A and B are shown apart, each in its own frame.
Chain A
Amino acid sequence: MLWYKAWLETRWRFGFLLLCSIALMALPPVIPAPQARWWIGFEMQISLLGAFAAVYMAGSGINTQTFYAATSGFHGSMYFTLSMPVSRLRLLLTRAGVGAVETAIVISVNVAESLYFHPPLGTTIQQIAVFGVRSIICSMAVYAMAVLLSCLLDEMWMFTASLIVVGFLYPLQFHNNWVGWLNPLRGMNLMTVPITAPMPWLTMASSVGIAAVLFWVSATLVRRKEF
């Protein structure tokens, strides 16, 4: 039933993200330009939307359900959640699991929409699918970072802090050194049209590693935290 709760908790923000995604992708390019240029723009849009989705879907959870938050307009159901006969790890994993699946769906829809509305010349569906998969894998590092922050901060501050981190990481992905190669946002982006760049295995591996470490830290924090 925790899955049921997590779905009810997140369905509106999930729906909102899908609507935003459709609205942004369906728009024709504002500035007439060669298609190759549009695609660079769309890819950036996809990666930013993916990062935004990862941050947005990681919100809520136990920490944001404080009474303090309730007085600020959020709900204060924390004690109701904590009075359930389930471990905190299970609470965290269920909520994070639902958010991760929803983030993956939003990114998949983004990629599918880009194909449908603005099919890039010379790129196969298979290449696009691979692009989608690696975007999802790399987005999990951003998602795990937002989950960790949601264990520490109220929703408003978690969201602000996460976007600051994404904003800080975004330009670093273009560095042609370890800072760029290990950057998860690099794996969610790809500046070639058609998509012919080799798979960024190193970036994907680092994203999976970062996500695993951050989830582990989140789980440790939630288990120890005194609400």
Chain B
Amino acid sequence: MSGAAIATHELLKSYRGKAALSGLTLDVPKGALCGFLGRNGAGKTTTMKLLMGMIRSDGGSLEVLGKPIRTEADAVAVRRRVAFVSEEKELYPFMTVGQTIRFTRPFFPTWRKDLEERYLKRFRLPLDKAIPKLSKGMRTQLMLLLAMARGAELLLMDEPTSGLDPAMTEDVLQELAALASAEGVTVFFSSHQLAEVEQICDRVALIDQGRLVIEGDLDDLKAQYRRILLVFNRDAPRELETLTGVDSLRMRGRTASLLVHEDVDGLVKRAQLMGSLSVEVRPVALKELFLDHVRED
């Protein structure tokens, strides 16, 4: 676990008896650019708060950058090395851009003045502009600046592109990708925009109802998973439900759609024995993986 940027084992968290995390086991290696996917209420924000030591877990263990978070002192130490950008992207409305930077800088001995200047120039952020007068995109850029310049080793971002226009979204994504490759920073970000995740991430973790459903390198997952489309001359047989090694199965009339990730050829053969007229095997997109694993039907 110690080589990982994030390592959780059977993490539990509930709010007033309602489970938010039901045994989350997650492993994100250092240097990864990992997309964190899940439906609303799946437990993404709770996971991020736990990783920042903002809330306490009810059970299980977690390590951030090789350090366990058990006490508030652990959490404070971790927060010196980790940056968090919340979904709301709210900063202090009584400060200007310059004041916000001056306020944040002294908390981090590893502050990178060169990165501060670089991103101020790149994002064209006016130092004397009050925070409430910044657009949401500019607030996101300022938060990115604060996160990057503090010299964080791990960047946690909760839906960093929500509310941004396409051009700004592209800028933010490019910056994240550049940061991960140039500075060796681990980026762990949640998003509902699967295309974004597919665009820049080398790794994904998908959770549903507080548990990990899929985790791994994006390319490996895409290579591993296959969609098998079957057409029968009658209603799709119920025996399909007995097939092992099927991640998800949908049957509609004479057609059936299977998501599989092992022994594809074997499954095709068994399906043909059930009388399918045609069989099509094709690669799957991240969106399909996501939908097949979280859809309730």
Residues of A whose CB lies within 8 Å of any CB of B are 1, 4-5, 8-9, 12, 65, 67, 70, 75-80, 82-88, 223, 226-227
Which B residues lie within 8 Å of A83 (CB)?
52, 54, 79, 83-84, 86
Which A residues lie within 8 Å of B196 (CB)?
none
Closest CB of chain A to B14's CB: distance in Å?
11
Chain B residue nearest to A82 (CB atoms) is B54
A84 to B146, CA, bound (A): 11
A5 touches B92 (CB 8 A): yes
Tell whether B19 is near chain A: CB-to-CB under 8 Å: no
B90 touches A75 (CB 8 A): yes
Which B residues lie within 8 Å of A78 (CB)?
90
A70 to B90, CA, bound (A): 9
Closest CB of chain B to A59's CB: distance in Å?
13
CB-contact partner of A8 in B73, B84, B88, B99, under 8 A = B99
A80 touches B86 (CB 8 A): yes
A80 to B143, CA, bound (A): 9
A9-B92, A227-B55 known; 14 other A-B pairs, CB under 8 Å?
A1-B102, A1-B104, A5-B103, A9-B94, A12-B94, A77-B91, A78-B90, A79-B54, A79-B90, A80-B90, A80-B92, A83-B86, A87-B76, A88-B72
Residues of B whose CB lies within 8 Å of any CB of A are 15, 52, 54-56, 72-73, 76-77, 79-80, 83-84, 86, 88, 90-95, 99, 102-104, 106-108, 143
Which A residues lie within 8 Å of B88 (CB)?
67, 70, 76, 79
A207 to B91, CA, bound (A): 36
Q: Which of B56, B79, B83 has the most CB of A within 10 A?
A: B79
Closest CB of chain A to B153's CB: distance in Å?
13
A8 touches B77 (CB 8 A): no
CB-contact partner of B56 in A12, A80, A86, A226, under 8 A = A226
- Shortest 9 CB-CB distances between A and B: which pairs? A79-B86, A85-B79, A76-B90, A83-B84, A85-B80, A75-B93, A77-B90, A226-B55, A76-B88
A79 to B94, CA, bound (A): 16
CB-contact partner of B76 in A4, A77, A79, A86, under 8 A = A86
Which A residues lie within 8 Å of B103 (CB)?
1, 4-5
A4 to B95, CA, bound (A): 10
A80 touches B76 (CB 8 A): no
Secondary structure type dominating chain A contacts? helix
Which B residues lie within 8 Å of A87 (CB)?
72-73, 76
Closest CB of chain A to B110's CB: distance in Å?
11
Which B residues lie within 8 Å of A5 (CB)?
92, 95, 103
Which B residues lie within 8 Å of A4 (CB)?
102-103
Which B residues lie within 8 Å of A9 (CB)?
92, 94
Chain A residue nearest to B81 (CB atoms) is A85
Closest CB of chain A to B45's CB: distance in Å?
10
B86 touches A84 (CB 8 A): no
Chain B residue nearest to A5 (CB atoms) is B103
Closest CB of chain B to A175's CB: distance in Å?
41
Contacts A5-B92, A76-B90, A79-B84 known; A84 to B107 CB distance under 8 Å?
yes
A85 touches B77 (CB 8 A): yes
Closest CB of chain A to B226's CB: distance in Å?
40
A12 to B130, CA, bound (A): 15
Which B residues lie within 8 Å of A65 (CB)?
90
A227 to B45, CA, bound (A): 12
Name 14 A/B residue pairs within 8 A (Cβ), A-sorted: A1-B103, A8-B95, A12-B94, A67-B90, A75-B93, A76-B88, A77-B90, A79-B54, A84-B107, A85-B80, A86-B107, A87-B73, A226-B55, A226-B56
A48 to B55, CA, bound (A): 39
Which B residues lie within 8 Å of A76 (CB)?
88, 90
Closest CB of chain B to A5's CB: distance in Å?
6
B90 touches A8 (CB 8 A): no
Which B residues lie within 8 Å of A70 (CB)?
88, 90
A9 to B94, CA, bound (A): 6
Chain A residue nearest to B99 (CB atoms) is A8
Which A residues lie within 8 Å of B90 (CB)?
65, 67, 70, 75-80
Closest CB of chain B to A50's CB: distance in Å?
25
Closest CB of chain A to B279's CB: distance in Å?
50
A109 to B79, CA, bound (A): 41
CB-contact partner of A1 in B56, B73, B83, B106, under 8 A = B106
Chain B residue nearest to A67 (CB atoms) is B88
A18 to B73, CA, bound (A): 39
Q: Which of A65, A67, A77, A78 has the most CB of B within 10 A?
A: A77
Closest CB of chain B to A194's CB: distance in Å?
43
A70 to B73, CA, bound (A): 29
B72 touches A8 (CB 8 A): no
